[in-house]
Structure 1
Amino acid sequence: MMIDESEKKEEKDEKLLVNLCECFSLLNVKEIPDELIPICVTCLLKATSEKQGNEETQKEMETAILTLSYIARYCKIEKKLYLNEIKKIIKCNQEHHNMTQLAYQSAWKFLICRFVRDESLEEVVVDELHFAREAIKELEELAKCVDWKSEKEKEKRKKEKQEELILLRWLRTLNRYFRRCKLWNEEYSELIGSIVQIYRASRDNYRDICHQCIYYFVNAAENRAVKVDDLLKGRAVDTVLEEMQLQTLNKYETYEFLLFCIKISRRLKEEEEDEAEEAKRKINKRRVFEMMEEEGYEDVIVSFYGKIYYIIRYSSKFTLNISDYLVNI
């Protein structure tokens, strides 16, 4: 039906074609056949370009953008099919704020999913569209709408639930990007601090959000483009060290926090060839060492010895040598 409708020269039913593309894309979230990708992407992007400012058209436009965001990152899409249009959508909202938070996040999610397959997009994402700056702004706005201190009550907090889900989508999109990003600037350094604030606010009552923040810390620690200095300035390191002392940590959190610490430890043990970077590494090494001393981190690691033994049975990323988790000077 999609192919037949898209190939019509006359009397083409554009609305029917959009509906077909939306249904097909959402039903095939894992992978869309190559021959149908141009039809779906072109049709959905065309639906987002409608400029009639009525409420019905606005909803149709935003549904099309939401559907685009569900096209899996595994689907290969040629840049000429989407790049100019998705840039227009993002820039238009940056200037006019004419989209809902969900639709704006969906436009970014679609672009970042394309970046996972095509790293040549990073310059557009970082320098032209300012992904980190926009993420900070959106996360701050969404965080204001969540009652972090209240226990979740599904029936009473429908609006906050909506913002919670959009915030989660932002964090998952950030995690996708951080696994592969190579360009780094001050905006991303500030983003670390924003994630730390959300983690601290969410850890009591919003475990899904909390866990996405932990993923972010680990991805940032693993990514060589992210400097240890940025993790220190953003308070990611001292936050993890503080959390390690809590008796309420589950096996998942223990695993991720240990992974973060061992990655930081290994990076600080690697000497730099550049003199300025080597001097900075030594300063950071001492700072992390002093934090570990202050938090009694070595005692915490010893107390986790049994858990570490359990964890390494399922992961080659850990060792039973306690010194591997520490920073020595």
Structure 2
Amino acid sequence: MNEAMEEMDEKEFKYVFTMGRFDETDEMIKEKKLFMENAILLLKHVGYFRELKIIYLESFDYSLLSERMKEMIIDENEKKEEMNEKIFTDLCECYALLGEDDIFGEVLSTVVPCILKVALNKEESEETRKEVEVALLALSNVRASLFEKELYLNEIKEVIQHHQEYHNLTRLAYQSAWMFLVYRLWDDNSLEEVIVNELHFVREATKELKELTKCVNWKREKEEEDGKVERKEEVVLLRWLQILKNYFCYCELRNEEFSELLGCIVRVYLAAKENHRDVSKECILFARTAEANGNVKIDGISSVGTVDAFLWELHWKTLNNENVYNVLEYLKTISARLREKKGEDEMEEAKRKAIKMEIFEKMEEEGYEDMITSLHEAFRFFIEENIVFIYH
């Protein structure tokens, strides 16, 4: 079964794991044709591969099986001494791995502490590393749910800090720990100090991206990946890029580590742009998000070469190309910033004008001005927004 799931692409995965299939499983459990323990182990694998493939699978949330698991978590938690801890932990991980909807109330306050116990296991064995990886992957799927810091903060800090000192986690496990913590930012900005200055999220993300960039086969032809499972390193890299976007949407606290991260993103984009379009898309979205939220200093716009790098996308002239759209949005934001004068002193004003001229000359020299104009006419959104680019 694991080998079959490894080979499935997104379309095949969704075709197999439908709401009807989950309901059939629930019926088999109800009629005692399938032991719950066996069903949980199988479904944990389904959830694990769903997360590895970054597939949105909402069919589980609306199934009878989801309701059964929810009730079991509450019932088993009330038993306390009678409860089989291993089966209960598997149940909690399974529920977190498969669900797309936010977890609320009693289920949330039971599931998170239970899975964190597994994540805190520091035994040095391959089996433990795998168990911790699955636990943290399950936690990373607990997204926008509201719950108190007392339920998770000290434990997840301990997981991250222990890895920073001893490097005991797999790359996927470490990324997942960060994903779980950063997703809490949307509701609690008091976490900013811990994430930015105590745990050094940006520094750690930059380091991990640099390492992952060395591991991915960037020259792999597109045909070779059709119908195949993505390499694990590439999935982890994609997940870092996705959580970085989230981080810059909700975190206002900045430090000097950001400029190095932006430069690293540009290098990832340049490596990925031809054969790994999903990665290049995430790089552009990250830069667009960071720029829109004012995370890039004026002199950083040109120093790390984002504009030079992303202009390459404009050669892809198909109107359904999402990257072209996002590059145009990125240029729109930069254009607006370079036209602004927010109480600048003479030095800042001169710097802004110099960067504006540098970008303008680059566009003119490479012939991008006409290209942008033609694309500007083609995208109705940009006509409606009445965008004025840098060279206007």
TM-score strictly above 0.5 = yes
Paired with 1:258 and 1:213, the residues of 2 have a C-alpha distance of 14
How far 1:82 moved relative to its partner?
0.8
8 Å Cα contact 1:31-1:75 kept in structure 2 = yes
Paired with 2:264 and 2:109, the residues of 1 have a C-alpha distance of 37
The equivalent position to 1:238 in structure 2, one of 286, 308, 315, is 308
Paired with 2:167 and 2:123, the residues of 1 have a C-alpha distance of 16
How far 1:114 moved relative to its partner?
0.8
Paired with 1:242 and 1:61, the residues of 2 have a C-alpha distance of 41
How far 1:283 moved relative to its partner?
3.4
Deviations 1:11-41 (A, max 9, x none): 4322122111112222322211222111011
The equivalent position to 1:92 in structure 2, one of 148, 162, 178, is 162
Partner in structure 1 of residue 73 of structure 2: 2
Partner in structure 2 of residue 184 of structure 1: 254
8 Å Cα contact 1:62-1:103 kept in structure 2 = yes
How far 1:179 moved relative to its partner?
2.0
The CA RMSD over aligned residues, in Å, is 2.3
How far 1:49 moved relative to its partner?
1.7
Partner in structure 2 of residue 66 of structure 1: 137
SS in 2 for 1:244: helix
Q: Report whether the alignment pairs 1:326 with 2:368.
A: no
Paired with 1:252 and 1:155, the residues of 2 have a C-alpha distance of 20
8 Å Cα contact 1:269-1:327 kept in structure 2 = no
8 Å Cα contact 1:18-1:43 kept in structure 2 = yes
8 Å Cα contact 1:26-1:70 kept in structure 2 = yes
Paired with 1:77 and 1:287, the residues of 2 have a C-alpha distance of 48
Q: Report whether the alignment pairs 1:13 with 2:74.
A: no
8 Å Cα contact 1:154-1:161 kept in structure 2 = no
Q: Report whether the alignment pairs 1:214 with 2:278.
A: no
Q: Are residues 29 and 185 of structure 1, via their aligned partners in 2, closer, same or farther at CA, if it must alter by over 3 Å?
A: same
Output the TM-score relative to the length of structure 2: 0.75
Following superposition, which runs of at least 4 residues in structure 1 exceed 6 angstroms of deviation?
155-158
Q: Which moved more, 1:22-31 or 1:52-61?
A: 52-61
Q: Are residues 278 and 46 of structure 1, via their aligned partners in 2, closer, same or farther at CA, if it must alter by over 3 Å?
A: same
Deviations 1:248-272 (A, max 9, x none): 7853222111111111011111112
Paired with 2:76 and 2:228, the residues of 1 have a C-alpha distance of 43
8 Å Cα contact 1:255-1:311 kept in structure 2 = no
Partner in structure 1 of residue 110 of structure 2: 39
Q: Are residues 297 and 77 of structure 1, via their aligned partners in 2, closer, same or farther at CA, if it must alter by over 3 Å?
A: same
Q: Which moved more, 1:36-45 or 1:246-255?
A: 246-255
8 Å Cα contact 1:221-1:228 kept in structure 2 = no
Deviations 1:155-211 (A, max 9, x none): 9986x7111111111111111112233222221101111111111111111111111
Q: Which moved more, 1:162-171 or 1:22-31?
A: 22-31
Q: Report whether the alignment pairs 1:292 with 2:356.
A: no
Paired with 1:208 and 1:233, the residues of 2 have a C-alpha distance of 25
The amino acid that maps onto 1:112 is: V
8 Å Cα contact 1:180-1:223 kept in structure 2 = no
Q: Which runs of 5+ in 1 are unaligned?
A: none
Partner in structure 2 of residue 146 of structure 1: 216
How far 1:299 moved relative to its partner?
1.8
Partner in structure 2 of residue 270 of structure 1: 340
The amino acid that maps onto 2:352 is: R
Deviations 1:118-151 (A, max 9, x none): 2221121111111111111111111111121121
SS in 1 for 2:142: coil
How far 1:230 moved relative to its partner?
1.8
Paired with 1:208 and 1:22, the residues of 2 have a C-alpha distance of 28
Q: Which runs of 5+ in 2 are unaligned?
A: 1-71
The amino acid that maps onto 1:65 is: L
Q: How many residues align?
A: 319
SS in 1 for 2:217: coil
Partner in structure 2 of residue 304 of structure 1: 375
The equivalent position to 2:181 in structure 1, one of 99, 107, 111, is 111
SS in 2 for 1:77: coil
Q: Which moved more, 1:124-133 or 1:248-257?
A: 248-257
